[in-house]
Amino acid sequence: MSGPAAYPARASLQARTALQARAALFLLPLLILSWNTTDSAEAQQSAATNNCVSCHAGLDDEDMSLPVAEWQRSAHLPADIYCQDCHGGNAATMVEDEAHDVEMDFVGLPDPYVVHELCGECHQAQMTNYVPSPHGLEGDFWPNCVDCHSNHEIVQPQASLISIPDNCEDCHEQAIMDDYIALTDRGLEPIVEFRQAAEEIRSAGVPVDLILTQATLARDAYVERASHVFVLEKMVAVVDSLEQVYPSIRKEVETARTEVDTRRRFGWMFIGLFLVAAGVIWLYRRSLPGA
């Protein structure tokens, strides 16, 4: 029941032209958004009545019930990604055979060799970089997406946390891992800093749209060209080119901070002037006859 024959949608995905794939890459955020909105009514309904969740949560066999608890802690639950989005099947019935109906595209356990295509339906940028990487075709798809990200407890990943040392150490010397983590830090940490700075500055009332747009562009460039490439040399080139852009974003942040300081100083000046004026008025009133 698993295997390429069970993946008609995925076979056609592979057949897409490069152009379509590129277009889809840029449209991905939109696709995910529209996917969410078109399905959200259905999803909200199924949040209460999703029978995969209801039945599996109560199964005695831990292998069968644990996925529910793990998925509930994942980034997929808040994004309305349910069991059937990865396993197929019919979530609208409480009858096991109907729920597991292969006619409803139930695949059971996804085949490890096509897991990337399953995840790639929604995470196309990652799949596009992963397939030609040393871990993809060259590595016979080992490790695959779930070897690194786990299958149910999928959370926002961080290079220094992700399956290192569990998985990476099987195949890599610590030196490669250190280089890899240093590189992702060099590429991604400034973006986190810019976003934090922008939040602080925004709370002081100074506009930060430009900073946030630039940070997002940098993040997108990293994801499209460095993330899941897994060739240090190529990653270095991308991170180096990002570092050419960071000083100008940093300057933008400095300018905005100066603006915050100026506003604060004007604020104090205004309060000072107000107090002086109030004092003058008070003295004047006292000097009036009969006061």
Restricting to residues 178-207, which ones interact with ligand HEC according to CB under 6 A?
Answer: 180, 184
Distance of closest approach, residue 259 Cβ to ligand HEC, in angstroms = 31
φ and ψ at residue 159, rounded to 5 degrees: -55, -40
3-state secondary structure of 49: helix
What is the three-state SS of 20-83?
Answer: HHHHHHHHHHHHHHHHHHHHHHHHHHHHHHCHHHHHHHCCCCHHHHHHHHHHHCCCCCCCCCCH
What residues between 11 and 50 interact with ligand HEC by CB under 6 A?
A: 32
145 part of the interface to ligand HEC, by CB under 6 A: yes
What residues between 269 and 288 interact with ligand HEC by CB under 6 A?
A: none
53 part of the interface to ligand HEC, by CB under 6 A: yes
Of 223, 237, 245, 260, the residue at the interface with ligand HEC (CB under 6 A) is 223
Of 6, 114, 127, 249, the residue at the interface with ligand HEC (CB under 6 A) is 127
Give the C-alpha separation, 135 to 170, whole Å.
13
Distance of closest approach, residue 282 Cβ to ligand HEC, in angstroms = 59
Distance of closest approach, residue 23 Cβ to ligand HEC, in angstroms = 18
Q: Which residues of 38-49 are buried (b: 16+ CB within 10 A; e: fewer)?
A: eeeeebeebeee
Distance of closest approach, residue 112 Cβ to ligand HEC, in angstroms = 6
Distance of closest approach, residue 20 Cβ to ligand HEC, in angstroms = 18
> Binding mask 64-93 vs ligand HEC (x if CB under 6 A, - otherwise)?
x--xx--x---xx--x-x-xxxxx-xxx--
* Residues in contact with 128: Cβ distance below 8 Å, sequence separation at least 6, in sequence order: 21, 25, 120
For 187, half-sphere exposure in the C-beta direction (CA atoms, 13 angstrom radius) is 30
| Residue 167 or 255 with smaller CB distance to ligand HEC | 167
